[in-house]
């Protein structure tokens, strides 16, 4: 009998992704259309919808109102879709890219940039001309590769500056390319331009795919701890048993989806407000599911870096969900959309999935366990709810030496896959037990 198909622990199933889709509105229409086009995991279409909506909503502002005041956030999302080769990552991204490109009808609207090789200066000039864009990369691994090149040194830091959404001056003073001082003297030193090129109100969204094996290879422990990878929200998926031999596209359906983006999303310049009970729901979830585990040191530090930004991401997608319920553009500072509690229910399901995925991807990608015996030890310990002592582990794994076991336990604790505990009622000789970290 064939073994039942099962997803890796970091993947979000189609059934779970279904709960991330509102019952109506543009978001619902887009995801339902995209899933009919291809057999890609449903979560890929959800992630793509977030990205193109974030790019299209550049003129809107998100205002989160809390107990101690309010603050404005830009619609900027950095998203990575995680899956193996053949899981249709590029296919899912291409559908969203085509809808967005089709909707772009005038020059001041967001543009889709197809990632290639280039210089930091060229990318900055592009942002000066088009400060609102979405950066598509079929392979996000290239962002890790280019950091080591001389012409892109400092590019990661510059991207982090853009993430704030605030006006930024160019990173380098520009030079006249031919060495001419303006008087025809080609031997004169190359003078600097006196003016600074300002990127006004930058809105840079990033969307790309990466296989888990490549993430494991490219992302170091420092990447997981740094602010760069923490700003990416990673949506893992894997194709199930369904199969389709070709991608089917509907020109009329894509025209309708693009029309809404053009007329409503880009046509609106309103405030989207997160306040009242919806804001309280998000704050409670963040405290209980992010802050308490952080204070109790229940997670590896790298996962904490990822999860501390879930509130920011949750606020932004809540605003996007609310925008997709509109049927006509809203213009002017007095126009506003309120995020309701039913929308926040959907958002909290998304955040719960991302919270789980970040831990499982870190376990799978950042700290892979190569030794088969070590894997077996780790799995068995995790299955013991009250924890087990070294002696109890040795009793179960009779062929494992004490020396090897201590090495395994040290590596597993350092990787955040296990934790030490000191329960009451144990004798001094066996007071330390090992158990799975709290999720």
Instruction: Kindly state the tokens that stand for 357.
Output: 């995925």
Q: Is the pLDDT of residue 159 over 60?
A: yes
| Angle formed by the axes of helices 341-361 and 276-286, nearest 10° | 20
CA dihedral 3, 4, 9, 14 (to 10 degrees): 160
* Phi, psi (degrees; rounded to nearest 5) at 194: -85, -20
Average pLDDT for 135-161: 72
Average pLDDT for 154-159: 76
Higher-confidence residue: 48 or 364?
48
Which of 114-128, 164-178, 251-265, 365-379 is least confident?
164-178
* Phi, psi (degrees; rounded to nearest 5) at 268: -100, 140
Higher-confidence residue: 102 or 111?
102
Strand ranges, E, within 262-421: 269-274, 331-338, 419-421
Angle value at C-alpha 162, between 282 and 307, nearest 5 degrees: 30
Tell me the pLDDT band of 175, cut-offs 50, 70 and 90. Answer: very low
Higher-confidence residue: 384 or 2?
384
Q: From the CA atom positions of the chain, what is the Rg in Å?
A: 25
pTM: 0.76
Percent of the chain with pLDDT over 70: 78
pLDDT for residue 340 = 94
Separation of alpha carbons 232 and 79, rounded Å? 5
Separation of alpha carbons 125 and 202, rounded Å? 12
pLDDT for residue 181 = 44
Separation of alpha carbons 41 and 34, rounded Å? 10
Structural domains of the chain, with CATH: 14-166+201-366 (3.40.50), 372-435 (1.10.10.10)
Higher-confidence residue: 139 or 313?
313
pLDDT for residue 107 = 45
């Amino acid at each position: 009998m064939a073994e039942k198909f099962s997803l890796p622990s970091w993947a979000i199933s189609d059934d779970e992704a279904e709960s991330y889709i509102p019952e109506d509105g543009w978001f619902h229409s887009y995801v339902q259309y995209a899933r009919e086009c291809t057999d890609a995991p449903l979560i890929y279409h959800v992630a793509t919808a977030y990205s193109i909506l974030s790019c299209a909503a550049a003129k809107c502002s998100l205002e989160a109102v809390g107990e101690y005041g309010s603050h404005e956030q830009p619609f900027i999302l950095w998203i990575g879709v995680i899956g193996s080769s053949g899981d249709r990552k590029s296919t899912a991204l291409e559908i969203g890219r085509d809808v967005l490109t089709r909707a772009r009808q005038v020059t001041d609207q967001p543009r889709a940039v197809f990632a290639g090789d280039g210089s930091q200066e060229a990318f900055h000039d592009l942002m000066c001309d088009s400060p609102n864009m979405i950066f598509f990369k079929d392979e996000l691994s290239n962002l890790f590769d280019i950091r080591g090149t001389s012409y892109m040194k400092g590019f990661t830091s510059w991207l982090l500056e853009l993430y704030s959404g605030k006006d930024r001056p160019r990173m380098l003073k520009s030079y006249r390319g031919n060495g001419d001082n303006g008087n025809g003297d080609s031997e004169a030193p190359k003078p600097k331009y006196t003016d600074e090129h300002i990127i006004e109100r930058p809105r840079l969204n990033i969307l790309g795919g990466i296989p888990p094996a490549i993430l494991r290879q490219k992302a170091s422990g420092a990447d997981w701890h740094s602010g760069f990878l923490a700003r990416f929200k990673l949506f893992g998926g894997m194709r199930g048993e369904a199969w389709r031999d070709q991608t089917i596209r509907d020109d009329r359906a894509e025209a309708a989806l693009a029309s809404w983006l053009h007329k409503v999303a880009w046509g609106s310049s309103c405030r989207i407000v997160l306040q009242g009970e919806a804001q309280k729901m998000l704050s409670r979830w963040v405290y209980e599911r992010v802050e308490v585990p952080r204070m109790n040191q229940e997670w590896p530090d790298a996962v904490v870096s990822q999860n501390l930004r879930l509130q920011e991401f949750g606020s932004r997608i809540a605003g996007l969900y609310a925008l997709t319920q509109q049927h006509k553009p809203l213009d002017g500072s007095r126009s506003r959309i309120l995020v309701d509690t039913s929308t926040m229910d959907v958002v909290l399901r998304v955040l719960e999935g991302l919270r789980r995925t970040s831990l499982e991807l870190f376990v799978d990608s950042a700290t892979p366990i190569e030794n088969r015996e070590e894997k077996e030890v780790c799995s068995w310990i995790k299955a013991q709810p009250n924890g087990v002592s070294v002696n109890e582990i040795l009793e179960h794994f009779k062929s494992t030496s004490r020396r090897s076991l201590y090495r395994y336990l040290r590596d597993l604790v350092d990787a955040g896959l296990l934790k030490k505990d000191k329960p009451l009622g144990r004798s001094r000789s066996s007071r330390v037990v090992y158990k799975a970290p709290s999720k």
